[in-house]
Structures are given as structure tokens and as C-alpha cells.
């Protein structure tokens, strides 16, 4: 006897948030999204060498309508005296393997 399983695909939109104040905290970014959507995660991007925040972050939202509403409300809004950028994140480009053998 065969059993068929219905798989459900979960929608997740990754949102880019840029031009953020370098002193902003993850909690402050989370509070921005709490107002507009139920996000699943926030990731602040830090410099590899210094560990310092680079001024942008990514948030994941599971509901497409909420994600689009959050982008519309946040893009161009002022946070800590800076006009922030919010839009759907582009896919990360594939990295080249710099350690491959040339011989």
C-alpha cells in the first residue's frame, strides 16, 4: 500500500534593510518589524575583520502580504535620523572557489 504525503511549501521572503545607523541593535530592528509583520529572524551583517556592524541587515517574513506591507511602510522611513532602505533581498551570488587547483 502506498501512502502519498502532501508537502506544504512555506513561503519565506528575505528583506534587505539598509542605510541603518551603526549603533542600532538587533532588538531595535526587531521592533521595527514587530509593527508591520510577524518575522521569523533578523540577521545583522558584521565586517569579518573588525566585527563592526556594516549598516545593513536581513529579516525573514513568512507571509507575503505582510512582507510587502513591511517593505512599503519601512522603505524611506526615518530611523535614528537616517532614511532607511527596505526591499526584497536579491539572491546571494555564487562565490568562486579561490583555493582550487590550477594544475
Could you give all domains of the chain from N- to C-terminal order, each with its CATH number? Answer: 13-88 (3.30.70.330)
For 6, the grid coordinates are 502532501
In the structure, what pLDDT confidence band is assigned to residue 12 with cuts at 50, 70 and 90? confident
Average pLDDT, the chain: 86
C-beta separation of 69 from 12 below 8 A: no
Higher pLDDT, 4 or 44: 44
Q: Is the pLDDT of residue 13 over 70?
A: yes
Q: In DSSP terms, which residues pair with 82 in a beta bridge?
A: 79
Amino acid at each position: 500500500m502506498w501512502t502519498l504525503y502532501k508537502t506544504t511549501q512555506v513561503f519565506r521572503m528575505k528583506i534587505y534593510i539598509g542605510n541603518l545607523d551603526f549603533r542600532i541593535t538587533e532588538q531595535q530592528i526587531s521592533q521595527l518589524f514587530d509593527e508591520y509583520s510577524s518575522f521569523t529572524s533578523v540577521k545583522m551583517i558584521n565586517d569579518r575583520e573588525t566585527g563592526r556592524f556594516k549598516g545593513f541587515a536581513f529579516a525573514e517574513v513568512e507571509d507575503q502580504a505582510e512582507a510587502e506591507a513591511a517593505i512599503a511602510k519601512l522603505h524611506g522611513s526615518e530611523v535614528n535620523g537616517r532614511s532607511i532602505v527596505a526591499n526584497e533581498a536579491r539572491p546571494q551570488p555564487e562565490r568562486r572557489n579561490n583555493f582550487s587547483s590550477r594544475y
